[in-house]
Structure 1
């Protein structure tokens, strides 16, 4: 009973506190968990008192013109601020002080003209910065240099004529920088080439007023050969002005005849590597950069960034930049890009490794020579036996008469051996006198058919051997051997 009363009291107090908090908020604001939404209320100032539990503050579509110091103080959990579609022209120094946990800041669709260096210096944890669709004409050189955790920065649809690329050389986490749809007439190609490959990979520069020149064309052509998303997805939007004339705008990646005399940069050195599925494979990063200040990154075929120490489950990176795939699979095949950068002099190099992972199929081993020989002998022996015992008979298989003196046509010669190349020259009389020019004769018993069953013509048989002489050996099938 007391427990139930305590719970009811706690709920009542929470309700009272919530009402007190809401009483200090403009009418129309909505609170849901740790989200506070005060959108499209015509607000000209940030509400003075905000709930300390708020993590996402949505002030989009209002009439805010300035942000003052301390507007967001006392909000320890605040991580996202949405200020799009307001009338902000500048940010007062200290606006974001003491809210270092901000990860996402949306200032798009406002009236900002200059990004001053103090605007975001307190946002050390910022990861996503949205500044598109403003009136920005300049980004000061140190405005983004301290944002080491910045991953995505959107500055498209502004009025930029240049950008301090050198200020983001150390931004290893930056994987999207959108500078499209601005007014840049030229690009600092050397500064862009010095950027880490991960930044170049997703640097969007289409729809600018670039003047057609070889260095610019060579840079974009190299990105096109590498298959960078910024070129692949916006190929037709890459235009330049021939001789600087606005009326002579060409899609230079599609119409290349204006750059026939330009020298195109070649791709980075590429090595080929093969591996067997399920086994470990090592990819070496071959560069000329050495020393303590050199850092390495890899980009996988799936456009994933690999930094030390790698993924302990499948990938492992070493201090010399080598990348080990612990158990390679067929889907790991593709082009791996290694990036090495010397942070001291801002110089970098790239190296490509084309990996092919295949499934090993064991080869069928040929027959052993001895086994082959034995098999040949067995087959030969079987053929000989088939020839010996399965040859169709010509004599005893036929039904013969029981005449006392068999005729020559019905008689099976006692010398009709299959080892004798030709039949005997003569057979004379009932005793079948054998020609005396034969040395060995294999005698087979004569069989006759009686009552439908074969039987031995003679109960006993002997093998008669003749000798080469002038005498004639007469062999009779009896119990004894006749010797001349």
Structure 2
């Protein structure tokens, strides 16, 4: 039998061995499934994995599980990976992420998450709640048809989000605000199925998000509002237009066979009131007698949405309009056919989606500028005066270049002394050459102007 002291010592050794058993396994690379480890990088790609490997080393900073067959991320899938910063799950068969999938993992340390080329259909609000430090989110080439309004909530460090090549018909732009996503600079929604853009929500996006918003290759209906938005972006030099100008398309009446390239179809949009579109965010002014088109800006894009307008005189307006002065279209736009002074005021629009039981309102202040005859004729008078001045100047130049002085018959004049006559003749000759003769005289010597060399020398002396 061992002494008491020796027995206690062996108990301590056995206890330490038991405590160290699990960490030793966790720190080893799971070679049994074919994973490769290099420093803090663990790669388990193209291994036909249907679930997470049993034990991933806790030292992993980058974990690559792409090109496998995983269908779900279960709760606690990444427990213990407290140093994880990059997670790649592209080219799997993921259809959903269970609540708590990222619980007890690195959480705020995870910067890059790649879920591209999977089979996700809906982005639910719990998917990324445990990843407040996420900076780059890749979701392109999925089958996403809907993004819940709070799916990106809490991602205050998000810089870039890629959702292109999906099946989105709407997007909660209103959930992207300066206080909620202060660092977001790129939002890629290209190659989806967006039929209409909620201009009010897009105009309220932070400037950095607007500059990095990509909407090309969607199913947008050709509307003046959409054309005005893209033209404004082009004038601002946004990269979305600069690099993908040819890919900005729209559908005439929503028909696929009526596809137009927005920036090559200026004639189709030539009747659009782009000035009004640009100023409509706050107020619109129009001259009396001119037409004005107002748009009901809303984020509702369902086909069941109906619209109505309320004029400043509290008159309700529904399609096709009323009394000949107001014309309303099925897409919610209201046209003031010929603006009058009494048409000034607040126009109020309501969009109603009975199917989803949602409604939104929008108002715009219209100011009709009175028509003055003086203002109408002033541009013509100014232009006519300028033209007349140019013609008179041209005539004087031609006279100076081509008309010679008429030679009148000599008139009888009283004889003057030779010196006086010579001086007058010289003055007359000098005057004629300086005004009417196109070329200067070849010599300064005229009749009675010859100087004797001695006189010339005396003139040069000081």
TM-score, structure 2 length as denominator?
0.53
Matched, 1:157 2:182: no
Matches within 5 A, 1:400-479: none
Q: Which residue matches 2:14?
A: none
Kept after mapping to 2: 8 A contact 1:221/1:264: no
Of 31, 37, 55, the match for 1:31: 37
| Contact 2:142–2:166 (CA under 8 A) maintained in structure 1 | yes
Residue 267 of structure 1 and its aligned partner are, at CA, apart by 7.8
Q: Which whole-Å deviations, capped at 9, do the CAs of 1:459-484 have from their partners, x for residues lacking one?
A: xxxxxxxxxxxxxxxxxxxxxxxxxx
Residue 33 of structure 2: SS of its match in structure 1?
Answer: coil
Give runs of aligned pairs for residues 222-301 of structure 1, distance below 5 A: 222-265=232-275
Can you give the 5+ residue segments of structure 1 that lack an aligned partner in the other structure? 1-13, 269-420, 423-484
Query: Does the alignment pair 1:148 with 2:156?
Result: yes
Please say if 1:116 is aligned against 2:121. Answer: no
Q: 1:197 to 1:149 in 2, by over 3 A?
A: same
Post-superposition Cα deviations, 1:284-313, rounded to whole Å, max 9, x if no partner, equal xxxxxxxxxxxxxxxxxxxxxxxxxxxxxx
Separation in 2, partners of 1:206, 1:144: 22
Deviations 1:313-368 (A, max 9, x none): xxxxxxxxxxxxxxxxxxxxxxxxxxxxxxxxxxxxxxxxxxxxxxxxxxxxxxxx
Give the counterpart of 2:91 among 77, 81, 85. Answer: 85
Larger Cα-atom Rg: 1
Indicate the residue corresponding to 1:97 in structure 2.
Answer: 103
Question: In the TM superposition, what is the alpha-carbon distance from 1:78 to its structure 2 partner?
Answer: 0.5
CA distance in 2, matches of 1:198, 1:20: 43
The answer to whether the Cα contact below 8 Å between 2:43 and 2:65 also exists between their aligned partners in 1 is: yes
Indicate the residue corresponding to 1:136 in structure 2. Answer: 144
Asked whether the 8 Å contact 1:222–1:264 carries over to 2, the reply is no
Match of 2:15 in 1: none
Structure 2 residue 203 is the aligned partner of structure 1 residue 193 = yes
Question: Secondary structure at the residue paired with 2:55?
Answer: coil
Root-mean-square deviation (CA, aligned residues, Å) is: 2.2
Q: Distance in 1 between matches of 2:29 and 2:274?
A: 66
Cα contact 2:216–2:248 (8 A) shared by 1: yes
| Shift, 1:26, TM fit | 3.6
Per the alignment, residue 51 of structure 1 pairs with 57
Between the aligned partners of 1:221 and 1:200, the Cα distance in structure 2 is: 13
Q: What SS does the corresponding residue of 2:268 show, helix, strand or coil?
A: helix
Match in the other structure for 1:363: none
Matching residue of 1:75 = 81
> Which of the two has greater helix per residue?
2
| Inter-CA distance 20–249: structure 2 relative to 1 (3 Å threshold) | closer
Counterparts of 1:71 and 1:20 in 2: how far apart (Å)?
14
1:61-90 CA-to-partner distances (Å, cap 9, x unmatched) read 000111111111111110110000000000
Structure-to-structure mapping, 1:270-349, within 5 angstroms: none
Instruction: Give the Cα separation in 1 of the matches to 2:199 and 2:255.
Output: 21
Taking the aligned partners of 1:133 and 1:97, their CA distance within structure 2 comes to: 26
1:169 aligns with 2:177: yes
Gaps in structure 2 of 5+ consecutive residues: 1-19, 280-456
**Partners of 1:244 and 1:83 in 2: CA distance:** 36
User: Equivalent residue for 1:126?
Assistant: 134
TM-score (norm 1): 0.51
Alignment of 1:379-394 (within 5 A): none
Give deviations 1:170-218, integer Å, cap 9, x for gaps. 3221111000000010000110010011000010000000000011111
